[in-house]
Amino acid sequence: MKLLHIIATPRAHESNTLKVSTAFLDSLNAKHKDLEVETINLFTENLPNVAGDNIESKYTLSMGQPIDKRHKESWEQIETQIKHFLSADLYLISTPMWNFGIPYVLKYYIDAIVQPGYLYKYNELGQPVPLALGKKMVCITSRGGDYSEHSPFHVYDFQEPYLRAIFGYVGITDVHFVNAQPMDITPDLRAAALAGALEQARNLASNNVWSAVGNAAGAAHSA
Ligand SMILES: Cc1cc2nc3c(=O)[nH]c(=O)nc-3n(C[C@H](O)[C@H](O)[C@H](O)COP(=O)(O)O)c2cc1C
């Protein structure tokens, strides 16, 4: 079983989010001896342009037209990221909340990989059909404030609904969230929230069936 750990915090060892993710990964590793973990750190990864030649290719390909050699060479960087993404059975996204949503690097990554013909396609009725099938996802987030259901700020949580929407759109609907919150109000509140999130992450890793249900993505273009 291959897990792709997508890191969207620049804080490395200081990261609140990664403390919880590490607990999740440790518990998962203890349970699944066959677990293979690959990591992509979006703050250090050299992500392909979603502009210039690549934006031209995106629109050309979406109309079913071929792209020339120069565009192809550049587009291969997008395909490499897509291929890497689709090679996983399970995803772990580690992301803080930034301005009620996700950090720009995670949005950039999503803009690069969510391409028609690769992660979804349109059917003859013009409806989107997901192509990233048979996969599971865990999103571990941390927030300075509290956006949980009982909080008056719950409506400002654009992070969890967005991630559920975009990955659900491409076929990843088996998604679990562990949200560590609040992290930045007082040390006591942070300690209590972190302890709760660590326990939730360990339980999630131990009590779920994570074995792969097959790498069933079928891309229309050859990634
Ligand atoms: C640029 C930036 C924007 C942030 N925006 C929010 C926000 O909208 N709501 C919130 O509760 N916390 C916000 N925070 C605080 C972080 O979500 C919080 O400190 C989180 O635990 C950091 O996770 P990390 O240590 O893994 O990077 C923001 C932090 C940064 C750096």
Per-residue pLDDT tens digits for 145-162: 999 999 999 999 999 999
Q: Is the pTM of the predicted complex or chain greater than 0.75?
A: yes
Whether 46 is in a domain gets the answer: yes
**Which protein residue's CA is at the shortest distance from atom 4 of ligand 1?**
98
CA 144 from chain centre, in angstroms, equals 20
CA of 102 from ligand 1 middle (Å) equals 9
Whether 157 is in a domain gets the answer: yes
**Which protein residue's CA is at the shortest distance from atom 17 of ligand 1?**
143
Cβ atoms < 10 Å from Cβ of 125? 6
What per-residue confidence (pLDDT) applies to 211? 81
Does residue 163 register a pLDDT over 90? Answer: yes
* Structure tokens that stand for 210 in this block: 């994570």
Identify the CATH number of the domain in which residue 101 sits. Answer: 3.40.50.360
Residue type at position 56? E
Instruction: Return the best residue to mutate from 15, 92, 97 for the ligand 1 pocket (most ligand atoms within 8 A of CB).
Output: 97
* Structure tokens that stand for 122 in this block: 């349109």
Whether 158 is in a domain gets the answer: yes
Whether 155 is in a domain gets the answer: yes
Whether 215 is in a domain gets the answer: no
Write down the mean pLDDT value for the chain: 95
Instruction: Return the best residue to mutate from 22, 99, 146 for the ligand 1 pocket (most ligand atoms within 8 A of CB).
Output: 99
Range of the domain at 71: 2-207
35-47 average pLDDT score:
98
Domains: count for the chain: 1
Whether 17 is in a domain gets the answer: yes
Q: Measuring from each residue's beta carbon to the nearest atom of ligand 1, which residues come in under 6 Å? A: 9, 11, 15-18, 96-100, 142-145, 183-184
Per-residue pLDDT tens digits for 184-195: 999 999 999 999
Contacts of 53 (CB under 8 A, 6+ apart): 70, 71, 74, 75
Whether 47 is in a domain gets the answer: yes
Contacts of 205 (CB under 8 A, 6+ apart): 23, 24, 25, 26, 27, 28, 31
Pairing label, strands 120-122, 128-130: antiparallel
**Which protein residue's CA is at the shortest distance from atom 28 of ligand 1?**
98
Instruction: Return the best residue to mutate from 143, 153, 194 for the ligand 1 pocket (most ligand atoms within 8 A of CB).
Output: 143
Whether 222 is in a domain gets the answer: no
Per-residue pLDDT tens digits for 57-114: 999 999 999 999 999 999 999 999 999 999 999 999 999 999 999 999 999 999 999 9
CA 37 from chain centre, in angstroms, equals 14
Q: Please, are residues 79 and 136 in contact by the beta-carbon 8 Å criterion?
A: no
